[in-house]
Structure 1
Amino acid sequence: MSTIPNDLKYTKSHEWIRLEADGTLTVGVTDHAQAALGDVVFLELPEAGRVVSAGEACAVIESVKAASDIYAPVAGEVIARNDSVTDAPESVNADAYAAWLFKLKPANAGDTSALLDAAGYATEIAD
């Protein structure tokens, strides 16, 4: 059973989103996603300054099993990326919710209301 923290938002494509006090969003992949992928061996993250659309593939995660796109949960501008996870991609497997990938400044703060809560995500991934 995957861990699904209650204080985060989620997408159907298995990204987690933490709403920060300053209105920015921190994005990573869920525990369910990392477990399905297996050992993560490579990450390609978006550059700061990149403007993304909601649902746009903006990063790549590769494991020993597969490669998968990571999608922007909402439209906005990438304001930071976590280069420490590109240097140690296995950190995503060790703790998916600590290994954030990038931060977004949303174009419209209200867009986060369409994201799933923990219960909604749990339903989404139920067997």
Structure 2
Amino acid sequence: MTLTYPDDLKYLDTHEYIRLEGEIATIGISAFAVDQLGDIVFLDLPEVGAGLEKGEAFGTVESVKAVEDLKAPVTGIVVERNDDIVESPENLAEDPYRDGWLLKVRVDNTSEVDDALSAEKYRQMVEGE
């Protein structure tokens, strides 16, 4: 898999990404994280209506190698969950940025995204530059 870091996203140092459109944030995990985890076998995500707190764990991703907590990049309420990816988590490797999103969240305070890394800063972090 070619590791890409789309410029329209912001990234956390814990490898989640966020795409903010108005007050709706699409949250997923980066191609780098998917690559590091290897074969993903299980996703545990909150239901629609659940609240997220920035910096807190909101679910887990499990691979044949490890179980990792997913950290919320923003505070808000889950308005949509990608049930297709929950049912077939192995598909995350195909396109983590488009079809492989995890949650859509109505954000309480969009300025929370300001702390996140740009695509270039995230790339430098994960590629060790």
TM-score range, shorter chain: over 0.9
Q: 1:65 Cα deviation (Å)?
A: 0.8
Letter in 1 for 2:38: G
Letter in 2 for 1:11: L
State, as a whole percentage, how many aligned pairs show the same letter: 42
Q: What is the 5 A alignment of 1:9-24?
A: 9-20=10-21, 22-24=22-24
Distance 2:19 2:37 in 1: 22
Aligned: 1:79 with 2:79: yes
Give the structure 1 partner of residue 88 of structure 2.
88
Distance 2:51 2:86 in 1: 21
Distance 2:51 2:8 in 1: 26
Letter in 2 for 1:50: A
Give the structure 1 partner of residue 66 of structure 2.
66
Q: 1:52 Cα deviation (Å)?
A: 1.6
Aligned: 1:40 with 2:40: yes
Q: 1:126 Cα deviation (Å)?
A: 2.1
Across the aligned residues of Structure 1 and Structure 2, the Cα RMSD in angstroms comes to 1.1
Please list every run of 5 or more consecutive structure 1 residues that lacks an aligned counterpart in the other structure: none
Give the structure 2 partner of residue 101 of structure 1.
102
Q: TM-score, normalised by structure 2?
A: 0.93
Please list every run of 5 or more consecutive structure 2 residues that lacks an aligned counterpart in the other structure: none
Task: Detail structure 1 runs of 4+ shifted over 6 Å in the superposition.
Answer: none
- Equivalenced residue count is 126
